[in-house]
Structure formats: structure tokens, C-alpha cells
Amino acid sequence: MAPGGAGLIVSSQTGYMPNALTDEDEIALALTPTSELASLECLDGSKTPNSGAAYIVSKKANQLRTRTAAATNWAERGARINTISPGIIVTPLAYDEFNSPGNTYQEMIDSSALRRVGTPDEIAAAGAFLLGPDAQFITGTDLLVDGGVIASLKSGKYDLQVH
């Protein structure tokens, strides 16, 4: 990456969902060298008892590790790095989820402020902003683009059950 450059990692709104990580766990996830991540106690299964919980932790780790990289490796290169966390976006994966058992996606949409799914173009526009000249003072942050799903979850309007 050239000095003045920018990188963008696409994560997920899932990184904002409730999980069993402590502040200490988050610090360890953010700072542990990649080769040692598998040895972290918080990843031994006790805090990720099922695939849903593990997915949440993996997306949280994306955000945490990008924030750390922004202050270290990328800063040393004179470059910026951020993450973007899309909500439910109209993609083939979303259609698969809509056709799977349960109503989790629809419940999230119905409880959100905008009450709709997002589009790939909306995510691309947010990404273009983070990579462009208007965001030159932004690094090490995550941009949540979810139509208000996480706000609904955090306010108690929506109760997510991780199975």
C-alpha cells in the first residue's frame, strides 16, 4: 500500500450483535498475533458454543483487528484502513436466508428504522466514501450500514436469539 492509500475490509452488522466476549477478550482478539489466535481462551468454544455465536465473534474480530492494524501496520505505511459492516443486503445469500427456516431476516427488517433491505449500490457508495478524499481523516473505524437493525437490537425493540 502506497503512502496516502486506503484499504477497506467488508465485515458485517453481525459484529455488533450480543456476544459473550469480555473487554479483556476483545483486547486479546485485537492484539494477539495471527499465528496465536487459535490458542486464545475466548475462542476455545466456551464463548462460541454454536455456529451463530462463532460467526458473531468472527465478525467482531474483523472490526477489532482492523482497528489495531490502522494504528500499527497501516499507519507505518502512511495509509488508512477501515471496515464497513453491511446489514441485510439484496444478494443471492440474502435470498437463501429468506428461504431458510425461521423469520430472523424478516424480523430484523421489520424492527429496523428503515424497514427495508439495503442494496449493493448503497454499500458501494459508503465504501467509496471511506476510500475517497472526503474520508482522509478516518482510519481504524467501522461504518455500520444496516438501516437501523443494530439500533433496534440495542434499544430492545428487537430480541435476537442466537441458535
> Active-site positions?
55, 59
Q: CA angle, 128 as apex, 125 and 134 as ends, to 5°?
A: 115
Whether the CB-CB separation of 142 and 85 falls below 8 Å is answered with: yes
Which of helix, strand or coil describes residue 58?
helix
Q: How far is CA 161 from CA 18, 53, 124, 129, 153, in A?
A: 9, 10, 30, 33, 11
Whether the CB-CB separation of 7 and 81 falls below 8 Å is answered with: yes
C-alpha cell of residue 81 = 484502513
